[in-house]
């Protein structure tokens, strides 16, 4: 799988988690309502390319960082590692929350999971 395909897959996994969240909501009237919300959510996700990381961004009525993906192998992280955002322009570099090329469960629509 190419890096671009793996990033696209990550965005789909994020939006599917949002669908599950919407379908369980007390406001969910129909499955179609949850599907429409997830489709809208998916259109709000984008990727901004930086020197070391790709930043996954959500833009609705405000813009926020979902997380970061490592672009190349380095001394601490491998290409495709998913990192939680420490702020707008930098990831938390304590531990990867998964890798886009592997099975990963440590991501939610709100962002990569906190460490337990």
Q: What is the pLDDT of residue 48?
A: 96
Please state, as a whole number, how many other Cβ atoms lie within 10 Å of the Cβ of residue 64: 14
Say what the pLDDT of residue 33 is: 82
pLDDT of 101: 95
Which tokens go with 88?
Answer: 């707008």
Alpha-helical (H) ranges within the chain are: 3-24, 31-43
Instruction: List, for residues 92-110, the tens digit of each pLDDT value.
Output: 999 999 999 987 777 899 9
pLDDT at 115: 63
> Quick check: 69 and 10 in contact, CB under 8 A?
yes
Q: Of 5, 105, 19, which Cα lies nearest the Cα of 47?
A: 5
Mean pLDDT of 2-9: 95
Q: State the CB neighbour count (10 A cutoff) for residue 53.
A: 21
Residue of higher predicted confidence among 105 and 89: 89
Question: Is residue 7 helix, strand or coil?
Answer: helix
Domain boundaries, the chain: 3-107
Interval 46-87: pLDDT, tens: 999 999 999 999 998 999 999 999 999 999 999 999 999 999
pTM, full prediction? 0.89
Name the DSSP class of 113: P
Confidence (pLDDT) at 116: 55
């Amino acid at each position: 799988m190419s890096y671009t395909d793996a990033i696209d897959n990550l965005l789909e996994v994020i939006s599917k988690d949002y669908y599950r969240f919407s379908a369980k909501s007390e406001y969910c009237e129909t499955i179609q309502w949850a599907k429409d919300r997830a489709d809208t959510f998916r259109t709000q996700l984008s990727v901004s390319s930086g020197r070391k990381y790709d930043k996954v961004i959500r833009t609705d009525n405000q813009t926020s960082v979902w997380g970061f993906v490592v672009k190349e192998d380095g001394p601490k992280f491998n290409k495709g590692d998913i990192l939680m955002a420490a702020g707008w322009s930098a990831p938390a570099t304590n531990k990867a929350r998964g890798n886009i090329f592997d099975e990963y469960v440590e991501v939610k629509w709100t962002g990569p999971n906190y460490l337990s």
